[in-house]
Amino acid sequence: MNLSMELLNKNHEYVLQLNGEIDVYTAPRLKKQLLPLVEQGDRKIQIDLSHTTYIDSTGLGVFIQAYKEAQQNDCELELVHVQDRVLRLFQVTGLDRIMNVHESKFEGESIDE
């Protein structure tokens, strides 16, 4: 299982782009990257899941822990561009009603043929 991460920063607004699968093997790396961001507080963090194809319960645990830390440290945490398959996991667990989870939407122009 592979997971690549890229962190972008602009004026205390961070985007953590994740690519791959978040599972028992990759979740510790995600946790090591994400928790220090939310622990510093007073910032906005978006986690871009547009290229995340799978999350298991270990991965969900990382997001729950990060969400709790963010709330304690006055940090705004959002999960954005969540693919349908991954979004269903957040919906089934009810986490979409607690956390800021935004599904992926196509924002292109209409092409009439």
Q: pLDDT tens across 35-77, in order?
A: 999 998 888 999 999 999 999 999 999 999 999 999 999 999 9
Q: State mean pLDDT over 86-92.
A: 93
Answer positive or negative: Cα dihedral of 54, 58, 18, 46: positive
Query: What is the dotted CATH code of the domain comprising 3-103?
Result: 3.30.750.24
pLDDT at 90 over 50: yes
The residue whose two tokens read 């871009």 is: 48
Count CB-CB contacts under 10 A for residue 90: 21
Strand partners, 9: 14
Q: pLDDT tens across 8-22, in order?
A: 998 778 999 999 999
Q: Where are the domains of the chain?
A: 3-103
- The model's pTM is 0.86
Q: State mean pLDDT over 74-95.
A: 93
pLDDT for 1 equals 63
Supply the DSSP string of 8-45, one letter for each residue: EEETTEEEEEEEEEESTTTHHHHHHHHHHHHHT-SSEE
